[in-house]
Structure 1
Amino acid sequence: MNKNSKILVVGASGMVGSAIIRKLLSLGYNNIIGTYNAHMPDSTIFTQDDSPADMPKELKLERVDLTVQAAVNSFFSDKKPEYVFLAAARVGGIHANNTYPAQFIHNNLAIQSNTIHAAYQNGVDRLLFLGSSCIYPKLAPQPMKEEHLLTGLLEPTNEPYAIAKIAGIKMCEAYNRQYGTRFMAVMPTNLYGPNDNFDLDNAHVLPALIRKFHEAKMEGKKEVVIWGTGTPKREFLYVDDMADACVFIMNLEEEITNDMFFSYPAPCFVNVGTGIDFTIMELAQHIQKVLGFEGKIVFDPSKPDGTPRKLLDVSKLRHLGWQSTIGLKTGIEKACAWYLKKKQKK
């Protein structure tokens, strides 16, 4: 990509999409289009310091219902983007995946299918599809390599979402094989950071714990109850690191992408993570300390744990020359500070 390339970020109002836009703006890209679904996003999510600001002049936002094929086709035909970051998705934690399995598979399949096909039809130079580490089997060897895809049964609690993401990967591969497109994918580990979802019914574990500990402290509670046993291990990546990795991959030289992403049957995707994991108990203790909650942590083993361990093998990406720079302690401090600042503004 050059600084004047027409770059489309699909899902600009989400945590990952807004982080990608922040990264692009910080690097001087000046022709960025972002899509959103329901409400025009606040301009502060696209700034580094979350300070009040006008919408950056380098960024144009448009409302598009990505589940409607005709709307997506019309949008691509009109805008003719050169590069596409496909960051839009319906996402959530264990509770949301268990409660809304039909919406998770239907919405994500529709978003991906419509966007990838429209990108092909309109001659997009490169597309980067954002998947999820839940694509791997529940009992996959640890750490999980790209080659472990489709080698075992999925975790039942998020199977519909995982199947949708697997379909997105395979769609990219199929279009590359048949049409010579240059569609790549990244499989991030658990993401967190600014613009995260803190709704306790739909949030992932880290933002949900931030909210739980903060509210418990404010209400003077003596304990915080957490689902499961606390023993599962998870890897966490700060979303600005993820955005940096996405831009890095999109800008890889042609020769490297040919060998790494477009040599079928080699996977067209790469894992993105830290290569380090923590138990849910350790995560909770980190957040408890940062927020200053002095009560007890209580685990409820009657609730599901999910996959026992999810650690990505990130050697492929490190070989390409990228690795994360924001550790969990620093990341939690940043995420908590962002959450508390947002709470103060309400």
Structure 2
Amino acid sequence: MQEEHLLTGELEPTNEWYAVAKIAGIKMCQAYHKQHGFNAISLMPTNLYGPGDNFDLQNSHVLPALIRKFHEAKLQALPEVEIWGTGTPKREFLHVDDLASACLFLMENYNEPAIVNVGSGEEVRIAELAGLVAEAVGFQGTVRYNKDMPDGTPRKFLDVSKLSALGWNSQISLQQGIADTYAWFLANEDRLRK
């Protein structure tokens, strides 16, 4: 999705109130820029993950939830892990360290009221993501897709060409980022919400 397409359609019903809060923040930054010349930069990050993430299976996002599911299945020697949907939806992920890098870059190189998408520029199917997580965790079983459960939005992908044209690109591959996140999970597992 390009930056200029923001707010051109209906909000996704399961995410509506979260989206409204984000939109209010964007509009506030634009108002500060217009009224006071304050360089308040609005970023639209893609799906974030990394050390310090929420791994609670009741309310976490897909990547940390998969790490937790595959880890627990490995510990319990389960033969399979169930994942909701078909595995075909596509998502984009960005490591939190890359987001921090993009924020610093934009603070030094951007002074416009227009929003900037921040992402990796790479998309992955949920089935591929599950394979990467299973490999990082060392899970040897199979994945079963519960097609009776919803897939969610078929594709969530940001157009990051504006940020790339400014000179910034993500540096942490999804495979390396998952390994990094799993290492953090293992080192902090005793402190995580169950």
- Indicate the TM-score class for this superposition, using the shorter chain for normalisation: over 0.9
Q: Distance in 1 between matches of 2:105 and 2:158?
A: 19
Shift of 1:275: 0.7
Quote the residue 1:40 is aligned against.
none
Work out which of the residue numbers 223, 234, 249 in structure 1 matches 2:91: 234
2:116 is the alignment partner of 1:270: yes
Q: Which runs of 5 or more residues in structure 2 are unaligned?
A: none
Partner SS, residue 48 of structure 2: strand
Q: In 2, Cα distance between the equivalents of 1:345 and 1:201?
A: 17
Return the match for 2:74 from 199, 217, 220.
217
Instruction: Report the TM-score, using the length of structure 2 for normalisation.
Output: 0.93
Contact 1:190 1:236 in 2 (8 A): yes
Amino acid at match of 1:216: A
How far apart are the structure 1 equivalents of 2:189 and 2:6?
40
Superposed CA offset, 1:274-306 (max 9, x none): 111000000001111111111111112222222
Name the residue aligned to 2:152.
306
Tell me, in whole angstroms, the C-alpha distance in 1 between the residues paired with 2:79 and 2:44.
38
Please tell me whether residue 152 in structure 1 is matched to residue 1 in structure 2.
no
1:324 matches 2:170 = yes
**Where does structure 1 lack aligned partners over 5 or more consecutive residues?**
1-143, 263-267
Q: Does 1:186 align with 2:186?
A: no
1:182 Cα deviation from its structure 2 partner: 2.3
* Aligned pairs (5 A) from 1:51-62: none
Q: Of 9, 25, 29, which residue of structure 2 is paired with 1:168?
A: 25
Task: State the Cα distance separating 1:344 from its structure 2 match.
Answer: 6.4
What is the CA–CA distance in structure 1 between the aligned matches of 2:151 and 2:17, rounded to whole Å? Answer: 18
The alignment's TM-score, normalised by the length of structure 1, stands at 0.53
How much has 1:345 moved relative to structure 2?
7.5
SS at match of 1:235: strand
- RMSD, matched Cα: 1.5
Alignment pair present for 1:342 and 2:168: no
Q: 2:64 aligns with which of 182, 185, 207?
A: 207
Aligned equivalent of 1:294, options 140, 146, 150? 140
Note if 1:177 corresponds to 2:62: no
Task: State the Cα deviation string for residues 18-51 of structure 1 (Å, max 9, x = none).
Answer: xxxxxxxxxxxxxxxxxxxxxxxxxxxxxxxxxx
Residues 193-202 or 177-186, more deviating = 177-186
Q: Which moved more, 1:301-310 or 1:199-208?
A: 301-310
Alpha-carbon deviations, 1:249-284, whole Å to 9, x = none? 1122xxx51xxx13xxxxx21011111100000000
Q: Distance in 1 between matches of 2:107 and 2:186?
A: 33
Identity of aligned residues (%): 60
Task: Give the secondary structure class of the aligned counterpart of 2:83.
Answer: strand
The structure 1 segments of at least 4 consecutive aligned residues displaced by more than 6 Å after TM superposition are none
Cα deviation, 1:228-265, whole Å, max 9, x if unaligned, reads 2211100011110111111111122xxx51xxx13xxx
Q: How does 1:15-30 map to 2 (within 5 A)?
A: none
Partner of 2:53: 196
Q: Distance between the aligned counterparts of 1:283 and 1:337, measured in 2?
A: 17
Is the 1:155–1:306 Cα contact (8 Å) retained in structure 2? no
How do 1:238-253 residues align onto structure 2 when only pairs under 5 Å count? 238-252=95-109
Amino acid at match of 2:145: F
Instruction: Work out the CA distance in 2 between the residues paired with 1:308 and 1:285.
Output: 19
Deviations 1:159-196 (A, max 9, x none): 11011101111121123223333211111111111101
Residues 96-142 of structure 1: per-residue CA shift (max 9 Å, x gap): xxxxxxxxxxxxxxxxxxxxxxxxxxxxxxxxxxxxxxxxxxxxxxx
Higher relative contact order (CA closer than 8 Å, sequence separation 6+): 2
* Corresponding position of 1:333: 179
How many residues in Structure 1 have an aligned counterpart in Structure 2?
Answer: 192
